[in-house]
Amino acid sequence: MKRITAILLTIIFLGLTIQVHAQIPDAFREPVIKKVETSDKANFQKQFSDIIWTGMGMQGATTIDHLPTSELRARFQALYGNPTQTLEHLVNKPDFRAAECVQFEYWFVVNDSIPVMILDIDGPFTTGLVYGVASRYIDLMPGIKRTMSNKMMGVREMGEYTDYFYSPERNEWYEVSYREGQFNNRKIDRPARFPRFNF
């Protein structure tokens, strides 16, 4: 009888444990963050074509908001590889505008359903990044941002990269890079493969 009682109690305990685990809100689980590859941009845009984008929900300061953008780019490179798109992917669009002169963009899908865009809009001259998120998921954004910040700050060896950036305000081109442990922002002539801009 005692053995049966013990077995029943064990089953009840396991059942309660499973039930409690199933009821844990998504907000308390670490988000699964997947980068969108350049080749998957069209699928991403189609899947989230009805999204209303906003910057709300990402205002809470984290460590990465105070780091130079060039360093953040190197940390992203180590974690996720090349950006989803850079200036080079954008300049030949027929409707290209000055506001699209970004250095890099990383697109993500969080938990298989939440789109997030992270971009740099002023090249290597600022700290932090700009975020675009789906308005319907604003409440989840602080947790997603904290997770991303923790992952970024956990990087021990930053990734090397070379980007190009055009500043409409300065009317200047820059080569922005991290190589052999050194950050470099070098003013250059317009690379031949980039068109002249008439904004």
Taking only the tens place, the pLDDT of each residue in 11-50 is 444 443 434 333 344 556 789 999 999 999 999 999 999 9
Q: pLDDT higher for 138 or 6?
A: 138
For residue 130, pLDDT beyond 60: yes
Tokens of 116: 């997030």
DSSP 141: H
Q: Is residue 34 part of a domain?
A: yes
Query: Would you put residue 181 in left (φ > 0), alpha (ψ -120 to 50) or beta?
Result: left
Q: Is residue 12 part of a domain?
A: no
* CA–CA dist 57, 50 (Å, integer): 19
Give how many domains the chain has, as a whole number: 1
What pTM value is reported for the model? 0.83
Q: Is residue 2 part of a domain?
A: no
Contact between 163 and 103 under an 8 Å Cβ cutoff? The reply is: yes
Work out the end-to-end distance of the chain between its first and last CA atoms, rounded to an integer number of angstroms: 85
Q: Is residue 20 part of a domain?
A: no
Instruction: State which residues form the domain around 97.
Output: 29-188
